[in-house]
């Protein structure tokens, strides 16, 4: 198999690059990070976003803006992938709320460009979506539950899902949420928490946003398995623990060795985020368990895996 990971410089993309093993080949795209830094396993000025990750050679990293249809075609011409994992997106939920046109351009029109290139090359497509397609009134949700996004970000991801489900390609759509990992420079919840608490800064964390934290290395491995098994349609892929962000933060502080007293519970209303959040969200994974028999790692075990990596990075 020849994989093209579009948005390979992001959190999920980085772990997907690692989940593809020889004899399979993997190529990755980035937008703003330099290819040589990515190939070294390094990253941003902030200190090595991909530290510890195996990385393919610099020539396997290609710069791509998915909004540029001609460039998308050129990248596909160069790689001719059998399989494409589409991770690229504007993922900052509050930024999307304030920039709806830009969000739609990348998250919907960009997806259309990749979809058309997949059709031209008969490449199989796996796409990442989110629990934010739901309103969070009555979660956790099954794959067939009716979506009703509250935010611009959620709406763009749902529009992209619909684009994909309406085409003849039979894509795989993976909905996930609260993805975390050890990845310096990443803005994932655990890395943000560690950065703040290490510096002795207080952190306000919502105690009414419920969801299923998902460990990125697991998500990548399950994605690889779903692709390998030729699965299509929508799959929910999340961790097993249902908890609110505050409880997740407390558990993380306990296991990672930080002072819990710097974590303050706050309601979503008080937090005043720009985009509305689904509160009782979360995703049911019965379909995944039935079709793949794959169990994801729980929060405690994943945090215990992260702890020595964080300590080594701080030393």
Helix and strand counts by DSSP (H, E) for the chain: 13, 13
Nearer to ligand NAP, 8 or 263 (CB): 8
Q: Which is nearer to ligand NAP, 186 or 311 (CB)?
A: 186
Q: Count Cα atoms within 13 angstroms, Cβ side, for 50.
A: 26
Q: Smaller CB distance to ligand NAP: residue 176 or 209?
A: 176
Least distance from ligand NAP to the Cβ atom of residue 222, Å: 13
Q: For 59-96, give the DSSP string.
A: GGEEE--TT-HHHHHHHHHHH--SEEEE--S---HHHH
CB closer to ligand NAP out of 261 and 296: 296
Q: Are 270 and 208 in contact (CB under 8 A)?
A: no
Q: In terms of DSSP bridges, do strands 25-30 and 263-266 run parallel, antiparallel, or are they unpaired?
A: unpaired
User: What is the smallest separation between the CB atom of 195 and ligand NAP, expressed in angstroms?
Assistant: 16
Closer of 162 and 260 to ligand NAP (Cβ): 162
Residue nearest ligand NAP, Cβ-based: 10
What distance in Å separates the CA atoms of residue 161 and residue 267, rounded to the nearest whole number? 30
Closer CB to ligand NAP, 36 or 257, in the complex: 36
Binding site for ligand NAP (CB under 6 A): 7, 9-13, 30-33, 64-67, 87-91, 106, 110, 128, 130, 157, 176-179
Smallest CA-to-CA distance from 20 within 6, 3, 7 is with 3
Rounded to a whole number of angstroms, the minimum distance from the CB of residue 259 to ligand NAP is 25
Distance CA 170, CA 230 (A): 10
Rounded Cα–Cα distance for residues 310 and 315 (Å): 9
Give the nearest distance from C-beta 91 to ligand NAP in angstroms: 4
Measured from the CB atom, the residue of 85 and 200 that comes closer to ligand NAP is 85
Radius of gyration of the chain from Cα atoms?
A: 19
Pairing, β 210-211 against β 243-244: antiparallel
Q: Smallest distance from the beta carbon of 200 to ligand NAP, in angstroms?
A: 26
**Strand 233-236 to 203-206 pairing:** unpaired
Token pair 């990750």: residue: 53
């Amino acid at each position: 198999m020849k994989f093209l990971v579009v948005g390979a410089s992001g959190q999920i993309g980085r772990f997907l690059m690692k989940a593809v093993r020889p004899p399979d080949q993997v190529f990755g795209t980035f937008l703003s990070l330099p290819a040589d830094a990515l190939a070294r396993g390094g990253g941003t000025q902030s200190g090595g976003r991909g530290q510890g990750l195996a990385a393919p050679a610099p020539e396997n990293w290609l710069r791509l803006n998915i909004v540029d249809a001609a460039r998308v075609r050129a990248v596909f011409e160069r790689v001719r992938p059998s399989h494409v994992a589409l991770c690229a997106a504007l993922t900052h939920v509050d930024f999307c709320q304030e920039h709806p046109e830009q969000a739609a351009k990348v998250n919907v029109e960009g997806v259309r460009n990749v979809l058309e290139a997949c059709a031209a090359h008969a490449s199989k497509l796996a796409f990442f979506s989110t629990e934010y397609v739901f309103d969070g009134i009555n979660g956790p949700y099954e794959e067939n539950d009716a979506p009703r996004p509250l935010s611009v970000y959620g709406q763009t991801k749902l529009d992209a899902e619909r684009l994909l489900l309406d085409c003849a390609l039979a894509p795989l759509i993976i909905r996930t949420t609260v993805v975390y990992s050890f990845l310096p420079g990443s803005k994932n919840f655990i890395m943000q928490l560690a950065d703040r608490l290490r510096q002795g800064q207080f952190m306000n964390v919502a105690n009414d946003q419920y969801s299923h934290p998902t460990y990125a290395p697991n998500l990548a491995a399950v994605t690889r398995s779903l692709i390998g098994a030729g699965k299509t349609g929508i799959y929910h892929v999340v961790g097993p623990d249902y908890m609110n962000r505050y409880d997740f933060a407390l558990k993380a502080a306990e296991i990672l060795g930080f002072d819990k007293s710097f974590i303050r519970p706050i309601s979503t209303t008080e937090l005043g985020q720009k985009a509305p959040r689904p509160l009782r969200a979360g995703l049911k994974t019965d379909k995944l368990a039935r079709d793949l028999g794959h169990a994801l790692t729980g929060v405690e075990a994943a945090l215990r895996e992260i702890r020595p990596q964080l300590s080594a990075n701080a030393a």
